Amino acid sequence: MPRPVAQGKASRVADARATNLVDRLAPAALLPYLRLARVDRPTGFWLLAIPCFWSVALASRSIGADYPDAWLLVLFAIGAVVMRAAGCTYNDIVDKDIDAKVARTHSRPLPSGEVSERSATIFMLVLCMIGLAVLLSFNAATVWLGLCVVPLVALYPLVKRYSYWPQAVLGLAFNWGVLLGYSAVLGRLELPAVVLYAGAIAWTIGYDTIYAHQDRDDDELLGLKSTALRFGRATKAWLSGFYALAWLGITVAGLLAGAEIVFLLGMAAAGAHLFWQVATLDIDDSDNCLQRFRSNRDFGLIVFAAIVLDLVLASRF
């Protein structure tokens, strides 16, 4: 059974799974902070980490490696956990008044009063220091490149107040790890990294548009903007275009990096998954949107498996 919470507090955050381990097992004192860090909703971690994994694996071909560097993958995984948590905490601090008026977000720790703004700020700064420690373990080029993403992260939660394209800014920030992955392996950027970054941005615009449809009505009432509102009833057409660009960008990046037939077979499977998302999407059903959004973890893992398997087989034959 989920852990009971104080009267007036939600038993869980609205878009967390009812069976998530955080609500079931976490100590009561830590529960609000784990929710603030989105540990109860791990999809975002995967969506932040997986593009880094793609990049490390593709860059490994350039140095003739048989496998991606496992230590680099671990570092990027740790970085994704702490920086996603820090970014979500920052977003919640900026958006606390808005979140209190939205059905899906009013139960989050800041708008519900479970965590104070001061405590959330301290928590965010601790997470940032851990993230900085991870970043400093990379080469100098990667450290400087990692610092360059800070303005994008700071800008993101403000964009929806002025533009229908916050998903594009999220794509720029959320996939910065593609550039970091290449730099961490090679100490420089190459064309496949830039093409992969562009494809990943298109992917993020697609999946976050699906996610934004959950808040479409509340956002419109509050005067906030998103691609979900911009695309409206034409969402499937727009989504098809962005997912096509994503698939093409990732595929071309792989080919530029030297990937071969196994990678292409994997990309065929990944493309089928994106087609399924669009074909079965119901923008008027929040549960449907949330499920399709979460399924992008599976798309990302299919692509990663295709890159790694192709790399391993290339080293054998």
Average pLDDT, whole number, for the chain? 91
* Residue 198: inside a domain: yes
Domain count for the chain: 1
Instruction: Indicate the pTM of the whole model.
Output: 0.91
Contact present, 51 and 178 (Cβ < 8 Å): yes
**Cα dihedral angle (37, 41, 45, 48), rounded to 10 degrees?**
-100
Return the minimum-mean-pLDDT range out of 30-39, 45-54, 184-193: 30-39
Could you list the residue range(s) of the whole structural domain that residue 221 is in?
29-316
- Can you give the pLDDT at residue 317? 67
Check which CATH number belongs to the domain holding 103 and give it: 1.10.357.140
Question: Is 173 within a domain?
Answer: yes
Is the residue at 52 inside a domain? yes
Q: Is residue 314 pLDDT above 90, yes or no?
A: no
Q: Which band of pLDDT confidence, cut at 50, 70 and 90, is reported for residue 102?
A: confident
Does any domain span residue 7? no
Q: What is the mean pLDDT of residues 204-210?
A: 98
Q: Is residue 10 part of a domain?
A: no
Has residue 74 got a pLDDT over 90? yes
pLDDT of residue 2: 35
Residue 17: predicted pLDDT: 66
Does the residue 1 lie in any domain? no
Encoding tokens for residue 96?
């606390």
Is there a domain that residue 16 lies in?
no
With respect to residue 143, please indicate whether it lies within any of the assigned structural domains.
yes
